[in-house]
Amino acid sequence: MPELDPVSTSQFNAADVAAWLSVLHAPGEVIEIRVLESSKKTTAGYYDDFAKAAADVRRFDGKCAVYSVLNTVNPSLLGRICNRLEASPEALTSDKDIMRRRWLMVDFDPVRPKGISSTRAEHDAARDRARIVRDYLHEKGFTEPVIADSGNGWHLLYRLDLPNDNETRDLLSHCLEALDLLFGDDVVGVDNTTFNSSRICKLYGTVSTKGDSTPDRPHRRARIHRMPEAPEPVSLALLQELAATLPPTPAAPPRTADAFDLERWIADHNLPVAKTGPYSGGGRKWILNPCPWNGDHTNDAAFIIQFASGAVAAGCRHNGCHGRTWQDLRRMYEPDAYDAPAPHSDASNTPGAPNSAAGSTPDPRRVDQLISGAGAFESRQRRQGAAPEPVAPDEEWECPLPLGEEKLPPFPLHALPPVLASYAKEVAEDVQVPIDITGMLALCVISALNSRRVQVQVGAWSKKHIETVNLYMVVASVAGSGKSPAMKRMAAPIVQIERELRERFEGAHTTAVAKFETDKKRLTALQTKSANAQASARRLIDDEILGLVEEMKEPKALPRMLVQDITMEALFTKLSEQEDNCIANLDTEGGLFSIIKGLYASKNSSPNMDIYLKAWSGDYATNDRVGKGNSYILAPTLTIGLTVQPEIMQSLAEDERLHHNGFLARFLYAVAPNLAGERPYLDEGGSNASEYAYTQTILALHDLPKAITEDAPHKRFLLTMDAEAIAVHKHYHNDINARQRPGQDLAAMLAWSSKLAGNVARIAANLHMVKHVGVQPGSRMPWETPISGETMAQAWEIGTYCIPHAVAAFGLMRSDSIVALARRIIEWIKRKKLNAFTMREIRQALNPESKERIELALTRLMEDAYVRLEMPAKKEGRGRPGKPYYAVNPCVVSEGRQQLQAA
């Protein structure tokens, strides 16, 4: 498909116009040229000479909008106005004048006020959307389209060979509606009105002249951008398949029924809305990502539509979700929705309704739904479920996993607000890094901003349990995995904020510093003069000194958002200099751990870690060793987001202080999978839409007001939880507490798991801030709305994800004794060349190891497919049944794992 040279917007080229008419029409085919000089005056004519048509429209170029009819016109119409233009003709081409349908035009038009041209950003957004739809239809089997720039938007022209009848009209109408449903939104719309056969299209090579041409909204020349060598028609079957993705229009609700507030219902139940926009005929649509029925459907496949009549439809275009309806979706969140009055009647504002303030009584069924939706700690179920059942001896073996390399759950991207999830997914795909990296970094970035403005009340007011909302996070990922470019893109908005702040205040700061230095020199001179003066003159000099000292004010430091590779003493100083005593450390090198371990400490002393310990919880901190500035900070707050190599994590085992003083227990961990060998080169990235939305959200969080004053830099607005959020948090807090008992799975991680509930409350606060940051003037502040049960459930889903990752991370920091015992069993099996063994035999071989530890090691080996519990075949006749035994994966003894994997 050749890409054509762009046409200058300032010069008309008749040859280009004629050539592009030849792309769309066969030689000698009759076409209509139509010029819209005003709303009341139209000039038109019919041509079979494309060069003459191009020459005739030259005088209108840049002054009026010039169009042509796309489909094949009845050649008899040439007799109306033959190869010329005529003002105010008696008749124009109608649908009945079209002989055959030759083109389907998919028109991508940026959403903007009527009658004006598009900005560059709007024009680019339409281009990006056209590319997405082209790729989508290409995957469906559609032929290559002609790609054209309409001047304000973009066109995809698909070749057809269909009759001009009502069936074709309806089919193409449904195709355009389906594309608008899937890909149109409040930024770019897919025009679903271009289905009629006599549809006119911008004449490529002429200037689009909507409104006045301004620097921000210029007039542009329409052009064909790319075209296939020989356009081939799209098959009827593919068009029918596309049209079939459109849901049927349900019956309108009775006029007597109360209006159902669908938008509020979606917000109340926190559905993962990726985008929204108008829908055909005055309706509204919401695109969901991921699909609520199947979380693996993450390509904007699910949708909700509210028609202009008020009727609602929902579904998912994946085959696995075929037949899903709005009723199915609503019952997922309200099981009794069709057995009781609608939830959004007047009673929905009474105490006890979902999202009501803390202190009301939550609905137990609703809380159960939220708890089940947040996940049930799969790692715990796997570790503490029922004992493995014996299997038949002839069951096939799986390939064993590398011992100690547990398959960890992926980051639950759907638990993030759509604006974060969309961009984290895009960056992960563009940079080709695990989603664990971008998902965790997204949380770090928003916590760096939110910790400057809010704290969160955990539970009811009577508990007086308040948490800061800053987070300490670390992601372990192998070298060369793309950590640095991922960090660069996720942290870009904060870097932009810091740069703009420095530019805004740098001039005044430089002036203040210069004045302060001048005053210091003057003060020194006066003090010297006073020391040498006579008593009578000294009094006047001292008065001058006192006046100068009162006027002197040490200039405030420039605002800082980020620090890296900084000593603890310098960090204390930077925190004390900021007006809110808040800063963030986002880094990909792991230098912080080297500093903590004493890189900058003298040989005879150890570094003072207090600032890192206290800045996590916002506790009062002092540092008498700082040579200047404040020697105390009332409530320092630090955010840490690190992406490091596993070797850095392993090196932490060398310093027991980091385990004993609770420093490592303050972190949330992720161990990212190694994608080496699974990252083919991609020559195209994502659209700018998600990056723009992400950046705007970060900037909006930064623009929120602060509660601090000059005398109270620690002051924050307070987020509260509604009754459902408290109930969900209580459930999981109690679950964690039970798992800390001796013999349970979190007993060995008591320090870390004891901080998990508080960390999850912080995550919930950060998610809440993103969901409720005002995007319209007059919007309510986030702290004026309590954290909902849905948001708390999503935060706990992230907390659930962190548990097995923390186990893996601490496994990197400390050798796992059970894994070591499992390796001893493997060595024993290899040495004895065993194909099977009994519990009695393994206990004798590993004496004096306890039975409990051996069982744990065997469970680990079974999980990783090294051994399995088998039941002997039943013997004929009487006699005791055989006892279960442990069978050995054949590749363990033969060391044929590679061959087994290849098979």
Kindly report, residue by residue over 79-100, the tens digit of the pLDDT. 999 999 999 898 999 999 999 9
Phi, psi (degrees; rounded to nearest 5) at 628: -150, 170
Beta-bridge mates of residue 423: none
Distance (Å, rounded) from C-alpha 612 to C-alpha 857? 37
Query: Which range has the worst mean pLDDT, 141-150, 659-668, 794-803?
Result: 659-668
| Residues 886-902: tens digit of each pLDDT | 999 887 876 543 333 33
Does residue 403 carry a pLDDT above 80? Answer: no
At 849 the pLDDT is 84
**Residue pair 765/456 in contact by the 8 Å Cβ criterion:** yes
At 376 the pLDDT is 42
At 896 the pLDDT is 42
CATH code matching the domain that covers 817-902, chosen among 1.10.10.10, 3.10.580.10, 1.10.340.30, 3.40.50.720 = 1.10.10.10
813-821's contacts with Cβ under 8 Å and 24+ in sequence apart are 813/649, 813/650, 813/652, 813/653, 813/659, 813/664, 814/653, 814/659, 815/653, 816/404, 817/853, 818/853, 818/856, 818/857, 818/860, 819/403, 819/404, 819/860, 821/846, 821/849, 821/853, 821/854, 821/856, 821/857
Q: Which residues contact 721 (CB under 8 A, 6 or more apart)?
A: 358, 456, 457, 458, 459, 729, 764, 786, 787, 792
Residue 346 binned pLDDT confidence (cut-offs 50, 70, 90): very low
CB atoms under 10 Å from CB of 684, counted, come to 7
What value does the mean pLDDT of the chain take? Answer: 82
Does residue 354 carry a pLDDT above 60? Answer: no
Mean pLDDT of 590-618: 70
At 398 the pLDDT is 66
At 215 the pLDDT is 92
Structural domain spans, the chain: 14-243, 262-344, 817-902
- Return the sign of the alpha-carbon dihedral for residues 481, 483, 486, 488: negative
Mean pLDDT of 700-717: 86
- Residue 446, amino acid: I
Q: Is there a cis peptide before residue 343, judged by omega within 30 degrees of 0? A: no
User: 93 by DSSP, 3-state: which?
Assistant: coil
User: 89 by DSSP, 3-state: which?
Assistant: coil
Q: Is there a cis peptide before residue 409, judged by omega within 30 degrees of 0? A: no
Token pair 């792309």 in the structure block, residue: 23
Structure tokens at 615: 């800045």
- Residue 841, amino acid: E
At 462 the pLDDT is 58
**Residue pair 566/615 in contact by the 8 Å Cβ criterion:** no
Q: Which residues contact 120 (CB under 8 A, 6 or more apart)?
A: none
Closest CA to 645 of 786, 474, 810, 521: 474
Does residue 777 carry a pLDDT above 60? Answer: no
At 252 the pLDDT is 65
The angle subtended at Cα 159 by Cα 33 and Cα 3, nearest 5°, is 85
> What percent of the residues of the chain are helix, what percent strand, and what percent coil, each to the nearest 5?
45, 15, 40
Distance (Å, rounded) from C-alpha 421 to C-alpha 290? 10
User: 628 by DSSP, 3-state: which?
Assistant: coil
Does residue 382 carry a pLDDT above 90? Answer: no
Structure tokens at 125: 């957004």
**Residue that wins the pLDDT comparison between 554 and 640:** 640
Q: At what angle are helices 723-739 and 789-813 packed, to 10 degrees? A: 20
Residue 454 binned pLDDT confidence (cut-offs 50, 70, 90): very high
At 714 the pLDDT is 84
| Residues 457-495: tens digit of each pLDDT | 998 765 678 999 999 999 988 887 788 999 999 999 999
Structure tokens at 763: 């995550």
At 365 the pLDDT is 72
Closest CA to 664 of 653, 672, 675: 653
- DSSP calls for 739-759: HTSTTSTTGGGHHHHHTHHHH
Question: How far are the Cα atoms of 6, 107, 173, 202, 531 from residue 20, in angstroms, in the given order?
Answer: 13, 18, 26, 12, 92
At 683 the pLDDT is 63
Secondary structure of 512-536 in the HEC alphabet?
A: HHHHHHHHHHHHHHHHHHHHHCCHH
Strand order in the sheet with 283-288: 273-279, 283-288, 302-306, 312-316
Query: Which range has the worst mean pLDDT, 25-39, 506-520, 722-736?
Result: 506-520
Query: Which range has the worst mean pLDDT, 414-423, 671-680, 734-743?
Result: 671-680
Question: How far are the Cα atoms of 424, 434, 677 from residue 680, in angstroms, in the given order?
Answer: 19, 14, 8
Phi, psi (degrees; rounded to nearest 5) at 314: -150, 160
Distance (Å, rounded) from C-alpha 587 to C-alpha 644? 8
Instruction: Name the burial class of residue 546, with classes exposed (0-12), middle (13-18) and buried (19+) by CB atoms within 10 angstroms of its CB.
Output: exposed
DSSP state for residue 414 in the 8-state scheme: G
At 379 the pLDDT is 37
- Residue 225, amino acid: H
DSSP state for residue 82 in the 8-state scheme: B
Q: Which residues contact 78 (CB under 8 A, 6 or more apart)?
A: 30, 46, 47, 48
**Residue that wins the pLDDT comparison between 791 and 712:** 791
Mean pLDDT of 590-602: 65
**Whole-prediction pTM:** 0.53
Strands 200-202 and 65-69: antiparallel
The rounded Cα 310 to chain-centroid distance in angstroms is: 31
At 66 the pLDDT is 94
Beta-bridge mates of residue 644: 476
Does residue 793 carry a pLDDT above 90? Answer: yes
Print burial letters for 292-329: b (CB count within 10 Å at least 16), e (below 16).
bbeeebbebbbbbbbbeebbbbbbbbbeebeebebeeb
- Residue 581, amino acid: N
Closest CA to 314 of 277, 281, 294, 286: 286
For the domain made up of 14-243, give the CATH fold.
Answer: DNA primase, PRIM domain (3.90.920)
